[in-house]
Structure 1
């Protein structure tokens, strides 16, 4: 199963750590949405979108990337990390996927070390995350996505 995950991961790289753990479970092509590149997502069996939560939402570059490049009818899934609260999580990209007739396979989220804004004054929150258990859960989530798609084929 050929999978692309379109992502944004800055600050502490929490989201990228989760994606790299998932990549140990199968063929994943990681696409940084901030890199200027030509993207052809039609060639993938399934597409993930990943981001940290910024202002209670996915980073806007990921949302715009999904709006522009997500092909109609592709199976999709979502991954996000957050410091304090999940906020609306993947709601914005899920709405785009639904509008394009994509089946949503699921979402994975976990805590991620956060020193944004006032959290910096207290040394950050969710220290040590994503941790080993978070990464194990991420790998398990991706295996379940793969197994579910293989059963449909």
Structure 2
């Protein structure tokens, strides 16, 4: 479950990232650390570019200034800006475009048609559904029930 400050923090960080030419991929607040760690993953809007150390530094300076200005995080914390790397979880619109056609596993809660885990070729997603191809048959899974979409290690079709 996301920390309750994450929506406010994303509202602050997303426009800054866009202004600097980055996409805000993910934001996590690890409050079980001492001091707590606010981790922000970014990547360039240009899909041909990799996230550099200079990109992380630019975003860190801009976000740090904005967080100091609004002062919504109580106490001390560490701000970490990094690249999302090549994880297997899909989260952004860009991920769903780049990995279209790849085999994915979709975890649902509550289950859809009695199944909590669906595996198939990714067709995409819209506001309401994640679409898969299962042996050539199109299946629409309710996005509100999707807990995660992960690249699969195995071929299913």
> Which range, TM-score by smaller chain?
under 0.3
> Comparing both chains, which one has the higher relative contact order based on Cα–Cα distances under 8 Å and sequence gaps of 6 or more?
1
Please identify the structure whose Cα radius of gyration is greater: 2
- With structure 1 as the length reference, what TM-score do the two structures score? 0.27
